[in-house]
């Protein structure tokens, strides 16, 4: 079959990145953007790969019974949500299936039947953190171009997928908690009215570069604005206007970043007003969150995730527990009452400093925190100093664990490992290396991110040899 033509296709399943998948009459797989399983559609085949086509939906012939109308006006353009047009029960079903498929395809190990995925407590307004970019190169939709209207190209929003220099201007986002939308729209309007320049990604000029809004279940709000060129008088006036309109912002901070990239991790964060952190609360524990620190983005669902982790760890009070990739030490503190001692390891020094501070304030005394790259810290010497763990909880980033870390787990032989992952394919890869020594006892998917294809998964492993 030839590329650059339209064909009628029945979509039957979900593939990576939330795309729907179907087969041509000759059996070749087609991955289709914007469609959902159950749709019958005219699909334009725009790219031919070695063993499959990539296509986009041109016309919906008959909609899937699972298809719903998306709530957001930016759906399909912004790229943040892939599945707002798929009913929530169906999203859950596909997430469960994705974990299952990754375990079957990537894993060559035995695993028990997956527990039923735990749905998110809220399906909208669940995100406690959003990062927006400013740009003078706004992405224009086809309709906007065809309208002939003159549209100001300053945008505050999200990067258009696969377009590094284009920003989709956002007027509403149903994933983040309020008053995030109000703050973002206010800052955009103020900047436009007062002629504050937006970043030019190609020329590397302009003032406003990015903005992060964080909220917490305690009601505290953090706003961090990143500037490229800094004009203190304009910045001060902007901040005064923000605080006058949003007195509930409890932490207003900024960064002046003149590097090529906008990562804040190697940048100084300057406090303009309020506190340098906001606080999250869970079972009476308070966790201080600083601009650079990781905190689970769905706070209510993080509580569900941590309860599962604590149950899987089966602590009796006598165990030495290692919490690898501890972030702010939230899991470490959450399980500490049930353990003899908990040791948290994390790469970001500021997160470790906050973890230590949180532990003191939470009046816990049986925890230690160490910062550094996991593969360099989690060594034989480290174990000789801190004791052999009975239980290891591990929650790596999307890339999974470094091979050396997995090998060290095999050497150390804890009785139990609780492996949390936001990427079940790298998790399956790591489990492949572990399952000669540890048996998978439970697999519990959790939905932390409704309307996206992402799924969190918790696995309990038990040592095979006594």
Looking only at the bridges linking them, the beta strands covering 391-394 and 367-371 are unpaired
Got the DSSP string for 121-166?
S-SSS-BSEEEEEEESSB---HHHHHH-------EEEEEPTT-TT-
Buried b (16+ CB within 10 A) or exposed e, 70-86: bebebbebbbbbbbbbb
Q: Which is nearer to ligand SAM, 181 or 394 (CB)?
A: 394
| Nearest approach, Cβ of residue 375 and ligand SAM (Å) | 7
Nearer to ligand SAM, 327 or 414 (CB): 327
Shortest spacing between CB 448 and ligand SAM, in angstroms: 10
Contact residue for ligand SAM among 395, 430, 447, 456 (CB under 6 A): 395
Output 41 or 331, the one with its CB closest to ligand SAM. 331
Contact with ligand SAM (CB under 6 A) among 397, 403, 410, 464 = 397
Contact range with ligand SAM by CB under 6 A, out of 3-11, 118-126, 187-195, 294-302: 294-302
Find, among 416, 415, 423, 431, the residue nearest to 456 by Cα. Answer: 423
Which SS3 state, helix, strand or coil, does residue 229 take? coil
Pick 322 or 438: Cβ nearer ligand SAM: 322
389 Cβ neighbours under 8 A, 6+ residues apart: 319, 320, 321, 322, 343, 383, 412, 414
CB of 120 to ligand SAM, least distance (A): 16
Among 82, 133, 296, 408, binds ligand SAM (CB under 6 A): 296
| Contact characters 237-276, ligand SAM, x per CB under 6 A | ----------------------------------------
Q: Which of 72, 78, 173, 422 is an active site residue?
A: 422
78 is catalytic: no
Output the DSSP codes for 292-343: T----SBHHHHHHHHHHHHHHHT--S--EEEEES-TTTHHHHHHHTTSSEEE
Within 8 A by CB and 6+ apart from 276, the residues are 251, 253, 269, 290
Residues between 95 and 134 that touch ligand SAM (CB under 6 A): none
The number of residues that bind ligand SAM (CB under 6 A) is 18
| Residues shown for the chain | 466
Rule CB under 6 A: say whether 309 interacts with ligand SAM: no
Q: At 253, phi and psi to the nearest 5? A: -135, 165
CB of 386 to ligand SAM, least distance (A): 15
* Least Å from the CB of residue 294 to ligand SAM: 4
Nearer to ligand SAM, 164 or 265 (CB): 265
- Stretch binding ligand SAM (CB under 6 A), from 128-136, 293-301, 310-318, 430-438: 293-301
- Cα dihedral: 290, 296, 298, 299 (round 10): -70
* Residue 294 in contact with ligand SAM, rule: CB under 6 A: yes
**CA-wise closest residue to 34 among 1, 63, 4:** 63
Contact 213, 221 (CB under 8 A): yes
Residues 321-380 that bind ligand SAM (CB under 6 A): 325-328, 330-331, 346-348, 351, 373-374
Residue nearest to ligand SAM (CB): 327
Short-list 306, 301, 352, 349, CA closest to 455: 301
Cβ–Cβ < 8 Å for 155, 168: yes
Q: How far is the CB of 367 from ligand SAM (least distance, A)?
A: 14
H or E element that contains 56:
strand 52-62
Residue range at the interface with ligand SAM (CB under 6 A); choices 42-50, 60-68, 113-121, 290-298: 290-298
Measured distance CA(362)–CA(342) in Å, rounded? 14
Tell the smallest beta-carbon distance from residue 59 to ligand SAM (Å).
40
Q: Residues 33-52 vs ligand SAM: string with x where CB under 6 A?
A: --------------------
Q: Enumerate the active-site residues.
A: 422
Q: What residue ranges bind ligand SAM (CB under 6 A)?
A: 294-296, 325-328, 330-331, 346-348, 351, 373-374, 395-397
């Amino acid at each position: 079959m030839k590329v650059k033509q339209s064909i009628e296709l029945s979509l039957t399943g979900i593939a990576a990145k939330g795309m729907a998948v179907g087969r041509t009459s000759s059996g070749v797989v087609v991955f289709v953007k914007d469609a959902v399983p159950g749709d019958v559609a005219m699909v334009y085949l725009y790219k031919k790969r070695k063993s499959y086509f990539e296509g986009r939906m041109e016309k919906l012939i008959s909609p899937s019974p699972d298809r719903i109308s998306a709530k957001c006006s930016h759906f399909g353009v912004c790229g943040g949500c892939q599945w707002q047009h798929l009913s929530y029960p169906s999203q859950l079903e596909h997430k469960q299936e994705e974990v299952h498929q990754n375990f079957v395809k990537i894993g060559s190990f035995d695993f028990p039947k997956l527990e039923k995925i735990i749905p998110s407590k809220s399906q909208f307004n669940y995100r406690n953190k959003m990062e927006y970019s400013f740009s003078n190169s706004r992405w224009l939709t086809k309709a906007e171009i065809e309208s002939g209207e003159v549209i100001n190209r300053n945008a505050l929003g999200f990067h258009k997928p696969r377009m590094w220099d284009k920003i989709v201007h956002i007027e509403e986002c149903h994933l983040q908690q309020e008053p995030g939308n109000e703050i973002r729209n206010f800052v955009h309007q103020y900047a436009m009215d007062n002629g504050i320049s937006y970043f030019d990604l190609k020329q590397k000029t302009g003032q406003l570069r990015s903005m992060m809004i964080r909220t917490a279940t305690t009601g505290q709000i953090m706003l961090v604005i990143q500037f490229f060129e800094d004009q203190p008088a304009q910045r001060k006036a902007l901040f005064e206007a923000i605080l006058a309109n949003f007195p509930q912002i409890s932490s207003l901070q900024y960064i002046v970043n003149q590097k090529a990239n906008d990562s804040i991790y190697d940048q100084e964060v300057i406090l303009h007003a309020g506190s340098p952190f906001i606080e999250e609360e869970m079972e009476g524990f308070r966790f201080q969150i600083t601009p650079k620190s990781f905190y689970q983005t769905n706070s209510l669902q993080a509580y569900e995730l941590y309860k599962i982790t604590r149950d899987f760890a089966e602590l009796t009070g006598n165990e030495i527990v290692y919490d690898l990739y501890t972030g702010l030490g939230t899991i470490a503190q959450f399980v500490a009452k049930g353990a003899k001692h908990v040791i948290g390891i994390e790469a970001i020094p500021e997160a470790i400093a906050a973890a230590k501070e949180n532990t003191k304030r939470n009046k816990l005394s049986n925890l230690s925190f160490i910062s550094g790259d996991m593969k360099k810290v989690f060594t034989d010497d480290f174990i000789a100093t801190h004791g052999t763990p009975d239980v290891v909880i591990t929650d790596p980033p999307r890339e999974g664990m470094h091979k050396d870390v997995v090998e060290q787990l095999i050497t150390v032989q804890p009785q139990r490992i609780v492996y949390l992952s936001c990427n079940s394919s790298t998790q399956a890869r790591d489990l492949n290396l572990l399952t000669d020594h540890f048996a998978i006892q439970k697999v519990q998917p959790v939905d932390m991110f409704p309307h996206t294809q992402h799924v969190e998964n918790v696995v309990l492993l038990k040592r095979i040899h006594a």
